[in-house]
Amino acid sequence: MMISKRLSELRKRKQWSLQYIADQLNIAKSTYAGYESGYRQPSLEAVKELATLFGTTTDYLLGTTDEEQPSIELTLPTVRLTVDGEAVTEDEIIQLIAFIRAKRDIENKK
Amino acid sequence: MMISKRLSELRKRKQWSLQYIADQLNIAKSTYAGYESGYRQPSLEAVKELATLFGTTTDYLLGTTDEEQPSIELTLPTVRLTVDGEAVTEDEIIQLIAFIRAKRDIENKK
DNA sequence: ATGAATGTACGCGAATCGCGAACGAATGTA
DNA sequence: TACATTCGTTCGCGATTCGCGTACATTCAT
């Protein structure tokens, strides 16, 4: 059960008690404990609230992604990127990638 | 029920039948129909599979975000960006933003 | 016209959710 | 040292609701 593992890790890192989280979500301590042990599955609503509480995404909690913070590979068809609210064009993204690579190249040759 | 609305929209846009989705997830047609009508809630596992099937995120399905594709404003503290799997530094992001703005400036003055 | 496919709704049995309670272990307090 | 509090774990119970098969009306295609 991926979500129980993720919840357990996050809570321990933040050094929060079961009771604290239960209070935040307005559920019983034993209920949340069930989530971490894998004995119970949180409702969809609870998953959303837990993601907010832990400052992560539901995709991370559910194990769809391993990135705790939404991290994006800057590559072509993948992402829609904006600057000042305006979409960066594909050509511009190509240039950005080239720029970063060139910069790293120079760094590595120092 | 946000997820039922999202599922319904996505399926209609793709012009998929209830049966098709049910087959993909190995569940009964009536089960998936319950998700769209709001009569039932999908399991966490089903939510993951649906996000994959529709090519979106669980955060979008659950209504945590309104962005169907993770689209991001290229600004400082927001996101972790990578090129070739390696994180782009803050300084580099600043340079990228400046680059895009300068480029647009030139375009606008033509 | 008729057979297949679609979307919708319902009842049933089984699964499981959320809760309170109880427990030992660890920690804090007088 | 005694005692209370907090912590994490586990269990049984009642209530919820999940997933399935089924049935039905509608639409589509032959």
User: Is residue B96 a contact partner of residue A87, using CB atoms and an 8 Å limit?
Assistant: no
Helices (H) and strands (E) in chain A, counts: 6, 3
> Which of A53, A58, A65 to probe the B interface (max B CBs under 10 A)?
A58
Q: Is residue B70 very low, low, confident or very high in pLDDT (cuts 50, 70, 90)?
A: low
Q: Is residue A100 very low, low, confident or very high in pLDDT (cuts 50, 70, 90)?
A: confident
- List CB contacts (< 8 A) between B58 and chain A: 57-59, 62, 64
Cβ-based contacts under 8 A for chains A and B: 110
**Which residue gives the smallest C-alpha to C1' distance to D7?**
A17
pLDDT at residue A3, rounded to an integer = 97
Partners of A83 in beta bridges: A86
Which residues have a Cβ under 8 Å from the Cβ of B27 and sit 6 or more positions away? Answer: B46
Whether residue A79 lies within 8 A of chain B, CB to CB, comes out as: yes
pLDDT at residue A75, rounded to an integer = 59
A29 touches strand D (CB under 7 A): yes
Q: Where in chain B is the domain with CATH 1.10.260.40?
A: 3-62
Cα gap A3→A63, rounded to integer Å: 7
Model pTM? 0.77
From residue A24, give the alpha-carbon distance in Å to each of A4, A29, A40, A61.
18, 11, 18, 17
Cα angle: B2, vertex A51, A38; to 5 degrees: 100
User: Is residue B8 a contact partner of residue B17, using CB atoms and an 8 Å limit?
Assistant: no
CATH number of A3-62: 1.10.260.40
pLDDT > 70 in chain A, percent: 82
If we measure between CA atoms, which residue out of B13, A75, A25 comes closest to residue A7?
A25
> Which of B76, B83, B94, B105 to probe the A interface (max A CBs under 10 A)?
B83
Cβ distance B100 to A88 less than 8 Å, yes or no, reads: yes
B18 touches strand C (CB under 7 A): yes
Give the range among A22-36, B33-47, B65-79 with minimum mean pLDDT.
B65-79
Average pLDDT over residues B34-59: 95
* DSSP per position, B31-66: HHHHHHHTSS---HHHHHHHHHHHTS-HHHHHTS-S
Residue B30 has pLDDT above 90, yes or no: yes
Q: Is B19 or A73 the better-scoring residue by pLDDT? A: B19
In terms of average pLDDT, the best of A78-87, B7-16, B70-79 is: B7-16
Average pLDDT over residues B42-49: 97
Place of tokens 């400082």: B76
User: Each residue of B53-66: pLDDT tens digit?
Assistant: 998 999 999 999 88
Residue B18 has pLDDT above 70, yes or no: yes
